Structure 1
Amino acid sequence: MSGLSGPTGLSGPCAVRPLVADSWRRSARAQVSPDGTARIELDEEELAGLRAEHPLAAAMPVIRELMGAYAHDGEHLLAVCDATGRMLWVEGHPGTLRKARGMNFVAGARWSEAVVGTNAPGTALAVGRPVQVCAAEHFRRPVQAWTCAAAPVHDPYSGRALGAVDITGGDELAHPHSLAFVQAVARAAESQLALVSPAPAADRLRLTALGRDEALLELPGRRLRLSRRHSEILVMLARRSEGVAGDELLTLLYEDESVTPVTLRAELSRLRGLLGPELLASRPYRLTRVVDADFETVERRLASGAVSAALGGYPGPLLPSSSAPGVVRLRERLTGRLRAALVDRADPALLADWAYSAWGENDVTVWRALASAVPVGEVPAVRARLAALDAELGAGGAGLQRHRNVTSRTLGPDRRPGTAGAVRGRPHS
């Protein structure tokens, strides 16, 4: 992305990071003014009530322990917001706190991207991953004297975003270490939440849908192998804990526009009979218990930069034979993000795990990355495979058609990738 120079014009000779350019565009679409300050939405009583009830309150001792002295000594601020971008805690050096009040970077103010434009906590929540925003990358001019880094904090069980942790200060924070620091603090906060607020086993469902055409649902005391259509429905509902309206669910599940709501209601009625009426509610359709879904676990690991762990939890594409539009979008996004992370990491063992898997055996991009990453002695074998793939590509072979449709490949329920310790340069046995 090039030709973007700032939030007012979004054009000019200076290139900006794609992350920032995309955020500026979202800010402009939300009609955020480049001038002005954040809105303070909570008075002291409302703020105290929200703090007392918010799950992140249980993680604040750990956050303060890890960040408090660093923020104070470095004349920075530590900040924690909820999932809507409302600041719950803003603490740190007194002088910096006074300066921050000039732009309403205070507890009770909303710093979501849609309200104040590009900023680390708001943009981190918008994109679902750690973000650093330096100086003029901020959308609003009054914020451009500051640099900040933030990372989302997720519920350790459901995976939903609870809010974000942020470090804000001057130019000295414009360093990759700042981003790594808040990311580590966010993971520590999630670990603390898992210790202090374990979810009762009776309230949890476990959905396994990666690498399988028919998902497995584990409930207290029983395990169900779902039909393909019920698998698709459960994936959609697990993804949307707030529920999905019938009309939208219809478009997520069926390619054929002639399918009527009656058909969907019949499927949901059969699913309710299988699960029990207490688990599947309607208006909107939703699951009434927390769901641990394997595809969301992989997404969380990727968001935290744990690429090896993400690949270790990825036995194959999401419901690989499904053509339901909503499933296809989720599958392609997850596969694409994991694949891109592996290429970026350039770890030969991880690349080999993907390249020698059923879904990666024709992935030219990964094979090329592997050729650049393996030891010299293993390059010939990898190049031989690349030459064969290039020949198929030149001939328009069916093998590379499978690569282009990699996320639609049918896998058996027990297919698994090789381990990171497998021998590189030859297929796993």
Structure 2
Amino acid sequence: MTRTSGPEPAVAAGEDPRRYAQLLSAVYDATMSGARAPARPRDVIGDSWQRVMNLGVDPENRGPADSVDAAALEQMRRDSGLVEILPELTGSLRSVLQDSDNLLVVADRLGRVLWRSGAPSVLDRADRLGFVEGADWAEDSVGTNAIGTALVSRSAVQIFSAEHFVRTHHAWTCASSPIKDPRTGRVLGLVDVSGPASSVHPTTLALIDAVSRLAEAQLREQHRRTLDNLRSVAAPMLARSETPALAVDGHGWVAAVASVPVRNRVLLPDEVAPGRLWVPTLGVCDLEPLPGGWMVRPASSQRDGVVDGESTPTTIRIDVSDPSRTVVEVSSPFGTWSHEPTPRHAEILFLLAARRDGRTAAELATELFGDNGRAITVRAEMSRLRKAFAGVVLAQPYRIDESAVVELALPVDRSRILPYSAAPAVRALRAPAR
């Protein structure tokens, strides 16, 4: 892909859609042919075009692969975590979009269309593109588009006309905003408004982003009620407990404690089973199931890292090979524990693994934000990270424990390393090795 040194387009889509579409078409044609473009695409678009080119997506592609059958679609809907908030998610937008030429779409975290609604005429046009329920609209399927690109960037995105990578999508404008699970920080899915390019409006992106935030507020309220129910079950048990313990939900959020320092959350692996488990900040614990959660009891006697009198090194595997998620796996003498960190923590762990000698807060601020004056922000984030990975991530300087074995799993295509990240150091490490 040829990068131009010219400015970004000076005309905004909402000011003069036809002129802006013409300019974008010229930029697109030049970029695809390798010629010098009259302007450069927005960074979010240029980065996406580079990714999908590296993936081998065909710009003449007619649309995604065949959609799934009705049974598979229903299962995808149930698994999405969005069913319970669907009325709140779509209700207000339906009234705004009534009698318009736009589609309202809800997709899951993989970019698969779960629900859509709109006027019959625009639904027919969407059908011809394969923009149907059950279809895959991730970037690696249909290139740059609001659904796939918002999922990669983890932020609200509007894609207009020739900013789409596939040529047949140039007649459309789309805006999408991710919905994050407040319990885990992971993206559950997104809400999207799509329609003819002539229907572009500068307020659309702000509108759907506000709807996404309202959906997240609804999820937080549901979670609060879940913790209240768990607390009502666990409190009498903890009152009778003769040993330290705490009751947590399936994501580690604390509902009640007994003789344990108060905390909001402990990190649990994605797959939890009754028995003995190493838990960050608590050490080795015994886990017992509760309705809606777990009773966690720190083991009465433990010596970290020592088995049968011999020290056993901890192995930390940081897997960024899947662009959609990072998984950290910690193997200790007490077993193996895995966790999907937040995007910011994934960036930090990746940088600490890439250079084992460590960083100061100012150095990390430069690598994450391009500004060494943001050291206070870094210290606050590192405090949270070190609580999650106690004994693994150390300070002065910030580093991964020197005695640990660190394994870093990268994608085959280096440009797909943490693709949502705008951190200067991460962007530099995406460059091909020379």
* TM-score of the pair, normalised by structure 1: 0.55
* Correspondence 1:89 to 2:104: no
User: 1:156-235, aligned counterparts within 5 Å?
Assistant: 156-171=182-197, 174-196=200-222, 198=226, 201-205=248-252, 206=265, 216=281, 220=296
- 2:28/2:163 contact within 8 Å kept: no
CA distance in 1, matches of 2:158, 2:363: 23
**Kept in 2: contact 1:151–1:165 (CA 8 A):** yes
What does 1:259-274 correspond to in 2, within 5 Å? 268-270=331-333, 272=334
Aligned length: 294
Cα shift at 1:9: 2.3
Q: Separation in 2 of the partners of 1:88 and 1:175?
A: 25
2:308 corresponds to: none
Q: How far is the alpha carbon of 1:49 from its aligned partner?
A: 2.9
Question: 1: distance between equivalents of 2:321 and 2:362?
Answer: 15
Q: Deviations over 1:173-196 (max 9, x none)?
A: 544422222222222222222333
Output the CA distance in 2 between the equivalents of 1:158 and 1:115: 27
Corresponding letter in the other structure for 2:102: H
1:140–1:244 distance in 2 versus 1, CA, 3 Å: closer
Alignment of 1:98-137 (within 5 A): 98-137=124-163
Which of these residues, 19, 27, 50, is aligned with residue 44 of structure 2?
A: 19
Q: Is the 8 A contact 2:315 2:332 kept in 1?
A: no
Quick one: distance in 2 between partners of 1:168 and 1:135?
A: 11
Could you tell me how far 1:150 is from its partner in structure 2?
Answer: 0.7
Letter in 2 for 1:269: S
Q: Which residue of 2 aligns with 1:5?
A: 28
1:285-296 matches, cutoff 5 A = 286-287=338-339, 296=342
Judge conservation of contact 1:148–1:173 (CA < 8 Å) in 2.
no
Superposition RMSD in Å: 4.7
State whether structure 2 residue 166 is matched by structure 1 residue 140: yes
The 1-side partners of 2:321 and 2:363 are apart by 13
Tell me how far 1:337 sits from its aligned partner: 8.5
Post-superposition offset of 1:355: 7.5
Trace 1:15-414 onto structure 2 (pairs within 5 A). 15-35=40-60, 36-171=62-197, 174-196=200-222, 198=226, 201-205=248-252, 206=265, 216=281, 220=296, 236=318, 268-270=331-333, 272=334, 280-281=336-337, 286-287=338-339, 296=342, 323-325=352-354, 335=365, 339=369, 354=374, 410=397
Identity of aligned residues (%): 29
Give deviations 1:311-361, integer Å, cap 9, x for gaps: xxxxxx968xx95328879x9998468746xx8xxxxxxx99x4788979x
**Contact persistence 1:359–1:409 (CA under 8 A):** no
Q: Over residues 133-170 of structure 1, what are the superposed CA-to-partner deviations in whole Å (9 max), with x where a residue is unaligned?
A: 11110011111011111112222212222222111123
Greater helix percent: which structure?
1
- Which consecutive unaligned segments of at least 5 residues does structure 2 have? 6-26, 231-247, 253-264, 268-279, 286-295, 306-311, 381-393, 399-434
Question: How many angstroms apart in 2 are the aligned matches of 1:116 and 1:203?
Answer: 35
Decide whether aligned partners of structure 1 residues 30 and 68 sit closer, same or farther in structure 2, where only a CA change above 3 A counts.
Answer: same
Change (3 A) 1:203 1:334: farther
- Residue 299 of structure 1, CA deviation: 7.4
Residues 336 and 129 (structure 1), Cα distance of their counterparts in 2 relative to 1, 3 Å cut: farther
Unaligned segments of structure 1, at least 5 residues:
209-214, 250-266, 301-316, 344-350, 361-406, 412-429
The answer to whether the 8 Å contact 2:184/2:251 transfers is no
Equivalent position amino acid for 2:207 in 1? F
Give the drift of 1:107: 0.7
Structure 1 residues 163 and 234, CA gap change in structure 2 (3 angstroms) = farther
Quote how far apart the aligned CAs of 1:238 are: 12
After TM superposition, give the deviation of residue 100 of structure 1 in Å.
1.3
Question: In the aligned structure 1, how far is the partner of 2:146 from the partner of 2:99?
Answer: 21
- CA shift in 2, pair 1:86/1:238, >3 Å: closer
Shift of residue 297, structure 1, vs aligned partner: 8.0
Distance 1:410 1:355, change over 3 A: closer
**CA–CA distance in structure 1, aligned partners of residues 168 and 107 of structure 2:** 20
Change (3 A) 1:172 1:69: farther
Paired letter, 1:131: V
Structure 1 CA distance for aligned equivalents of residues 91 and 317 of structure 2: 38
Counterpart residue identity of residue 250, structure 2: D
The separation in 2 between residues aligned to 1:10 and 1:43, in whole angstroms, is 40
Q: SS state of the match for residue 5, structure 1? A: helix
Amino acid at match of 1:132: Q
CA contact (8 A) 1:30 1:115 kept: no
1:202 & 1:189 partners in 2: Cα distance?
Answer: 21
